[in-house]
Structure 1
Amino acid sequence: MDNRHLQMVMAAAGAYGGGIDGILGAMSEAAMREIETRHAALYTFDPTSTTENRRKTGVLQACLNELGFEPGFVDGWYGNITGEALNAFLYRTTNGTDEVIDRTPLTGTTLPEDLPTRAQCTSVYGDPEHEVPQRVITIELPFSYRLDWNLRKKTNRVTVHRDAAPSLEAALIAVHNHYGPAQMTALGLDRYAGAYNKRRVRGGSSWSMHAYGCAIDFYAAPNGLRTECPQALFCGPPYQAFLDIMETHGWLPAIRLWGADAMHFQRARL
């Protein structure tokens, strides 16, 4: 994370009035303390007893949250959600408008009729503001994933909509059985990058599929929001079985829906 970006978001949040020079001096330190005090209730870690990088990331997340860019939890870990929130802030700051992410459906794609379209998700899964939070459940898998934003930590728990949970659990077990633990790690398929998240879609005002609890992400960095084939890692031959298994279980790969964002899988059509 660039220190200048940290200064920019602190300035936008009204906590910093110095130069955007990347030098974290006395004014930057005072601004960081102000943000930490102002948003203490949001912090999931103690910023006074951690590394400097994690502390800076926490301040960045707290500011982005205050400014409405939805960086995820204020946990001090710089993952894909925080990175995209910062990208959205920088784009609006630079251009005066929000970035529009192209999700034009690929031509010639046959989609299963038993899955809802984006427009039908509210009627199928519920209103993300009030109903979906009461309908998400956590499945516990018989194996663990590494957290994509903090590879030192593992989890076997994934939170999604209760109606999407059985198919996701079956898909993930099938993927694990196909590849095995060693190959999962070697290919980065054990890098879990998030599922349920009550936020808006990047580059738009509608609800994200994650807010409906019908989406999950894996291995974000080489499979990013704007990365197309053949650059996206998941476009490579070793990953086609992964995409096939997920799709067979009704979890459609975004790379096959709109040709980018290969990390993303959703139980919904476009």
Structure 2
Amino acid sequence: MLERHIQMLMAATGDYAGGIDGAFGPVSTAAMHKVEARHDAAYTFDPTTTTDHRRRTACAQACLNQLGHDAGLVDGWIGNNTTEALNAFLFRVTNGKDEVIDREREQGFTPPANIPRQRDVAQVYGRPGAEIEARLTTIELPFKLKIDWNLRASVNKIRVHRDCAQQLEAALIEVRKHYGEDDMNRLGIDRYAGAYNHRKMRGSNNWSMHAYGCAIDFYAEPNGLRVKCPQALFCSAEYKPFLDIMESHEWLPAIRLWGKDAMHFQRARL
């Protein structure tokens, strides 16, 4: 994240009145301290005890969340949520309107009819917020996945909707059995990029499938929201078994649903 972007964010929240010059000097630092004081409860760590880079990233996350661009946790790590929130902010600043991201159904792909349509998920899974929160459960895998935005950390517990949990657990165990630890690591399939998240869909006013607990992401950077085949990494032949296994367990690859966003899998059809 560029320092000028952090200055732009702090200016948008009214904390910074200096030049947007990318030089993070005393004025920028003082503005960052104002952001930290106001959003202290949202910080997941003590910003005074970490690196300048992580501290500034957390400041940007706090500003993005305040401005309505969901960056996720204020943790100082740049993941897909933070990147896309910044993209949304910059698009609005540049164009004077919000970006609209098309998700048109791919022809030739027919998912099982027993999987709910996106327009019906509120009736099937519940309404985002307290109702969905009450229906979440945690699956515990017999192996660990690396955190995509902080590869020094790992997780083996994933929180999803109770009606999707059994299928996801079985899918990931089969993926592990097929590839093994080394190949999952080599291919980046073990890079977990998030599941349940109470937020709106990127480039839309509709609730994200993540807000229903029926979506999960892997290895975000080379499989981005706007990237189509063959550019998306998961379009390569080595990843076909991964997509096939997820699909066979009713977790549908977005790259097959709408031809982009290969990192994304959901138990919902279009």
C-alpha distance in structure 2 between counterparts of 1:138 and 1:7, whole Å: 39
Could you report, residue by residue, the CA deviation over 1:62-106 in whole angstroms, capped at 9, with x for unpaired residues? 000111101000011000110000000000111111111110001
Which structure 2 residues correspond to residues 1-270 of structure 1 after superposition, within 5 A?
A: 1-270=1-270
User: What secondary structure sits across from 2:139 in the alignment?
Assistant: strand
Percentage of matched positions with identical amino acids: 63
C-alpha distance in structure 2 between counterparts of 1:2 and 1:164, whole Å: 38
Could you report, residue by residue, the CA deviation over 1:79-137 in whole angstroms, capped at 9, with x for unpaired residues? 01100000000001111111111100011221210000011000011000231011111
Amino acid of the residue matched to residue 141 of structure 1? L
User: What secondary structure sits across from 2:193 in the alignment?
Assistant: strand
C-alpha distance in structure 2 between counterparts of 1:110 and 1:167, whole Å: 19
C-alpha distance in structure 2 between counterparts of 1:69 and 1:127, whole Å: 21
Deviation of 1:139 after TM superposition, in Å, equals: 1.0
Deviation of 1:27 after TM superposition, in Å, equals: 1.0
Q: Which runs of 5+ in 1 are unaligned?
A: none
Amino acid of the residue matched to residue 210 of structure 2? H
Amino acid of the residue matched to residue 16 of structure 1? Y
C-alpha distance in structure 2 between counterparts of 1:129 and 1:156, whole Å: 24
Alignment length, in residue pairs?
270
Name the TM-score, length of structure 2 as normaliser.
0.99
Amino acid of the residue matched to residue 129 of structure 2? E
C-alpha distance in structure 1 between counterparts of 2:9 and 2:124, whole Å: 37
Aligned-residue CA RMSD (Å)? 0.6
User: What secondary structure sits across from 2:16 in the alignment?
Assistant: coil
Could you report, residue by residue, the CA deviation over 1:46-71 in whole angstroms, capped at 9, with x for unpaired residues? 10000111001100000001111010
Amino acid of the residue matched to residue 235 of structure 1? C
Deviation beyond 2 Å, 4+ runs, structure 1: none
C-alpha distance in structure 1 between counterparts of 2:133 and 2:38, whole Å: 26
C-alpha distance in structure 2 between counterparts of 1:55 and 1:69, whole Å: 19
User: What secondary structure sits across from 2:138 in the alignment?
Assistant: strand
Amino acid of the residue matched to residue 9 of structure 1? L
Amino acid of the residue matched to residue 29 of structure 2? E
Query: More displaced, 107-116 or 84-93?
Result: 107-116
Q: Which runs of 5+ in 2 are unaligned?
A: none
Amino acid of the residue matched to residue 72 of structure 1? G
